[in-house]
Chains A and B, each alone.
Chain A
Amino acid sequence: MSKCKLFLATGLLIVSGCSARPVTYVTVREAKFRTEMNRSDRLKLPLSAESRERLLRFFKAGGDTDRIGRDIADPEAEKRYAPLLDTLSDPAKLSLEDLTEKQTFKNWFSKRPIRQVVDAREEAPPAIDPVAVTDDKYWWIFYHHQKKLVELLVVKAIPPQMKR
């Protein structure tokens, strides 16, 4: 085998076979970084005017409930999220397919949905996997029933890499 071929083969092995791809999953963070304290106060879909306001307060506080009503961490939140919250208020746009197959939410969630959500508050992993998508600032975890999106939990995302 020529040196060139050997180099190419080695490179391919490193890229494909040798390095195991890690399984991707999303974790539910501590109470102050999420939109619910308990499962019982999870946001219902479609969003009502009241739950929409609750979400906006959370976003304006930068995803930290300690700051709600005390200071505005993200002044752009309403402008950024209002169209998405409008969509989440429309029952016609809340099928599971809207999130996983159709392009309904592509303006906000461009990356592939993740179906493994680890929530240590639960007794066991879910039978039916929720759908987690991210806009980089938050993880939006959608719970569905009979292929309709019925509940929503939003969790402040941890940046994959800290800025230096």
Chain B
Amino acid sequence: MHDRLLAALQSVARVRLVASLRDERLGFANAKDMRIFIPDVHLISERRRIQGAFRYSTNHTDLLTSVILALNQMRSGAADDEAIEIYQLGDFLDLWREADGADNQVDVASPIKDDHEDLVTALMDRKLRTRFLLGNHDFDLYRWPDYTAWERRYYLPDAADAAPSVVLLHGDIFDWVESLPDAVQNVFVYLFAPNVAATDHRLGEMINLIRQSHGDRKYRTYIQAQQPSTIGTVRESVADEVPARWNVQMPGSAPAQNLLYLDSAYECCKRANEQYQMNLRVAVIGHTHHARIAVRETDDGNLFTLIDCGAWIENCIADGETSASPNAQIAALSGNEARIYQLEPA
């Protein structure tokens, strides 16, 4: 299925491989089941972009729309015994920048969607059945009727008879693991307990944490990446066979910024495994705007993998390149193989 996804992407974009990892320890073995991850988009309205003096905006929205339409076509052509599911990993809409600190204004999201109708319509097409995560820049959406199906996390595989091995999160919790460890105790259950429904009280705690994290930041010049994220050596020719390991970041050899949240994610998953009888060994996140696959050996000799899917905002730079490229990444997991691609207009 990876080949089919690649062909679909190449039909609308120039595609480069940021990272790949093929390893049976990923715990997502079904080769007829593909999960595709679209990371942070951070849409705001055009009026707000100008009024707010933001020096950057979402990258390649037309390309992203074309990619989503291609994914929809791929999904509708899937065989009966195949599954192709699309996830948006949070921060699709940037309420925080749209409203200078998201509050109770009911219509903050609507003007953003009005200004990006083609993209929003493509991603929210009923046939695509996109699953959305709430990010820290659009968490307030949980209170509004149209967004009650947007989730805090997903588990994979999602068959009822298997302990999940993969967790999908926006990733902002890992900010707090390091900066607000006491507060995380209160939201850990909310994010990781598989059979606990989110209560208003817990959601309120989450929103308080998020507001605390935002502080007074206005995000005029950047959100996450003041400098372009370093994504290592990008493989130009993806038509050739994709190696089992490409650009995989490991402690001991990778720079510290490429290992960001690897240990925090591992510790959270380990704790969830102990407390909730799960088998988590992969965390799929967005949030950092830094596309990479990072791994570490676990205490029991297994592999823990962090798949950070990147973003469609801010920039990245590959080894050996002198100029940055706009982040435009998409990731996929199928048959115990994870890949992250960097896209550009064809």
**B107 contacts A127, CB within 8 Å?**
no
Q: Find chain B residues with CB under 8 A from A145 CB.
A: 117
A41 within 8 A of B: no
B54 within 8 A of A: no
Closest chain B residue to A123, Cβ basis: B126
B124 within 8 A of A: yes
Q: Find chain A residues with CB under 8 A from B224 CB.
A: none
Q: How far is the CA of A114 from the CA of B107 in the complex (A)?
A: 7
**A126 contacts B146, CB within 8 Å?**
yes
**B104 contacts A116, CB within 8 Å?**
no
B236 within 8 A of A: no
Q: How far is the CA of A116 from the CA of B126 in the complex (A)?
A: 18
Q: Find chain A residues with CB under 8 A from B239 CB.
A: none
B252 within 8 A of A: no
Q: Which of A114, A127, A144 contacts B106 (CB 8 A)?
A: A114
Q: Which of A21, A23, A127 contacts B145 (CB 8 A)?
A: A23
Interface centre among B113, B114, B124 (most CB of A within 10 A): B114
A147 within 8 A of B: yes
A111-164 contacts to B (CB < 8 Å): 113-116, 118, 123-129, 144-147
Q: Find chain B residues with CB under 8 A from A114 CB.
A: 106-107
B152-169 contacts to A (CB < 8 Å): none
**A125 contacts B107, CB within 8 Å?**
no
Mask of B132-151 contacts with A, CB within 8 angstroms, 1/0: 00000000000111110000
Q: Find chain A residues with CB under 8 A from B147 CB.
A: 125
Q: Find chain B residues with CB under 8 A from A23 CB.
A: 104, 106, 143-145
**B121 contacts A116, CB within 8 Å?**
no
Closest chain B residue to A125, Cβ basis: B146
B182 to chain A, nearest CB (A): 22
**A129 contacts B145, CB within 8 Å?**
no
**A127 contacts B120, CB within 8 Å?**
yes
A38 within 8 A of B: no
Sampled A-B contacts (12; CB under 8 Å)? A23-B104, A23-B106, A24-B106, A96-B114, A125-B145, A125-B147, A127-B120, A127-B123, A129-B107, A129-B109, A129-B114, A144-B114
Those 4 A-B pairs whose CB atoms lie nearest each other, nearest first: A127-B124, A125-B146, A115-B110, A129-B110
